[in-house]
Chain A
Amino acid sequence: MKIIFTAIDIVYNWARSNSLWPLTFATSCCGIEMISASAASYDIARFGAEVFRASPRQADLIITAGTITHKMAPALVQLYEQMPEPKYVIAMGACCITGGMYENDSYSVVRGVDRLIPVDVYLPGCPPRPEALLDAIIKLQKKMKTESLLERKQYLEAHKPRVILSEDRDCEILLPNPDFEVIHWGVQTIGYDKDYKKAEVNCV
């Protein structure tokens, strides 16, 4: 039984990791870099990911490219909820990871999309190079290949948004989900493993 599932897993993971259809979603400057990643010199199509779907129902991946404001947040969460499982998120740019340069004094910027939706790969940079986005996609593919159909329930649980959309859609207030710990922003040293091994710096 387990062998059969392993075989299915291999095919399944191969198929979906090689056909990541991103959602057309770009909110500011990082979006330009995402667009140029699909242009001729970087060509995201090599990974089978050039099929930018306009409808979230057909997308597998959402690249949150750009600043997410409090006004955009309900739309983002709704788009994320509309995507069919299995779905993945790449948080692209400093704004999406922590709020970036707006992090200390902005009245309007969400401090990191991981307060709204679960993020699979964080891609720092302001903006990151298109190659860095391709690198993030490769890393996401690596992550997908470690997953298994048998543990799908777990992933479904993990892929739930981290906020509750209020029932009344007219009021655009996102309530924090009490089940999830709210991530504190700023430099985080709590829970950070000091012996975390960094890759060697490739300089020159």
Chain B
Amino acid sequence: MKNAVNKTISGIIEIARGMATIMKHFFRPSITLEYPEKKPDLPPRFRGRLALLTNSDGTDACIGCKSCVKVCPCVDLIQIETSKDPETKKIVVEQFTIDIGRCIFCGNCTEICPKNAIVSTDEFELADYSRESLVFDKKALTLDPEKSQRLRDKKEKEVK
């Protein structure tokens, strides 16, 4: 009997304490971020969609070495077509395709790239209505020189 009474009283106290804790939250201002209006503060090393950088004169930074293809965990995700310019004997990147629908945003390709030509941007709102439109070709991936410079600076800051 005494045990039962003790149990009941301690049960009531515990429930009351739990309810009081919840009530405390009722008066706290909500911590919700109103997403579509306010964008989140992304961490500095956030890995969003990939992009190709260009040099300041508008030429591709990528030299077509295909290191990124080798290091990417998804086989054949990055597809690069190169050709040799007969005059200058330089490798020209003709096609550079990344299927964002398969990419797992690991960032291996950005780390291995010898020229820092491929980087992760802050873009994460990638939802789309068809699977084909998730395949980004060279035109869609390449950034203009100004943005490229900004991203490059940012990356250098991170390294330091």
Which residues of A does B touch, CB under 8 Å? 40-43, 46, 90, 94, 97-101, 103-105, 112, 114, 119-126, 128-129, 131-132, 134-136, 138-139, 143, 183, 186-189, 191-194, 196, 198, 201-204
Query: Is there contact, CB below 8 Å, between B102 and A103?
Result: yes
Least Cβ–Cβ distance between B134 and chain A, in angstroms: 6
Known contacts A124-B134, A201-B147; A40/B32 CB under 8 A: yes
**Inter-chain pairs besides A196-B140, A203-B151, A204-B147, 10 sampled, C-beta below 8 Å:** A97-B102, A101-B104, A103-B102, A105-B75, A121-B128, A126-B106, A194-B139, A202-B121, A203-B51, A204-B150
Q: Pick the residue among A99, A131, A191 that contacts B124 (CB under 8 A).
A: A131
Least Cβ–Cβ distance between A34 and chain B, in angstroms: 14
A125 / chain B contacts, CB cutoff of 8 Å:
105, 124, 126
Query: Is there contact, CB below 8 Å, between A124 and B123?
Result: no
Q: Once the chains are docked, how many angstroms separate the CA of A156 from the CA of B74?
A: 36
Which residues of B does A touch, CB under 8 Å? 30-36, 39-40, 49, 51, 73-77, 79, 97, 99-106, 121-137, 139-140, 143, 147, 150-151, 154
CB-nearest residue of chain A to B105: A126
Q: Pick the residue among A46, A98, A128, A131 that contacts B131 (CB under 8 A).
A: A98
Known contacts A46-B34, A103-B102; A198/B136 CB under 8 A: yes
Least Cβ–Cβ distance between A186 and chain B, in angstroms: 6
B36 / chain A contacts, CB cutoff of 8 Å:
134-135, 138
B103 / chain A contacts, CB cutoff of 8 Å:
94, 124, 126
Query: Is there contact, CB below 8 Å, between B35 and A122?
Result: no
CB-nearest residue of chain B to A129: B124
Query: Is there contact, CB below 8 Å, between A41 and B127?
Result: no
B124 / chain A contacts, CB cutoff of 8 Å:
125, 128-129, 131-132
User: 7 smallest A-B Cβ distances: which pairs?
Assistant: A126-B104, A136-B127, A97-B101, A104-B75, A198-B140, A135-B125, A43-B32
Q: Once the chains are docked, how many angstroms separate the CA of A98 from the CA of B104?
A: 11
Known contacts A101-B104, A203-B121; A122/B128 CB under 8 A: yes
Least Cβ–Cβ distance between B109 and chain A, in angstroms: 13
Query: Is there contact, CB below 8 Å, between B105 and A104?
Result: no
B122 / chain A contacts, CB cutoff of 8 Å:
202-204
Least Cβ–Cβ distance between B133 and chain A, in angstroms: 6
A-B contact pairs, 7 of them (CB 8 A): A98-B131, A122-B134, A124-B127, A135-B35, A135-B36, A189-B135, A201-B121
Query: Is there contact, CB below 8 Å, between B135 and A41?
Result: no
Query: Is there contact, CB below 8 Å, between B77 and A187?
Result: yes
Query: Is there contact, CB below 8 Å, between B102 and A94?
Result: yes
Q: Pick the residue among B35, B40, B127, B143 that contacts A201 (CB under 8 A).
A: B143
A126 / chain B contacts, CB cutoff of 8 Å:
103-106
Least Cβ–Cβ distance between A114 and chain B, in angstroms: 6
Known contacts A125-B105, A189-B97; A104/B74 CB under 8 A: yes
Query: Is there contact, CB below 8 Å, between A186 and B101?
Result: no
Known contacts A123-B127, A194-B137, A204-B150; A131/B73 CB under 8 A: no
Q: Pick the residue among B40, B73, B151 that contacts A204 (CB under 8 A).
A: B151
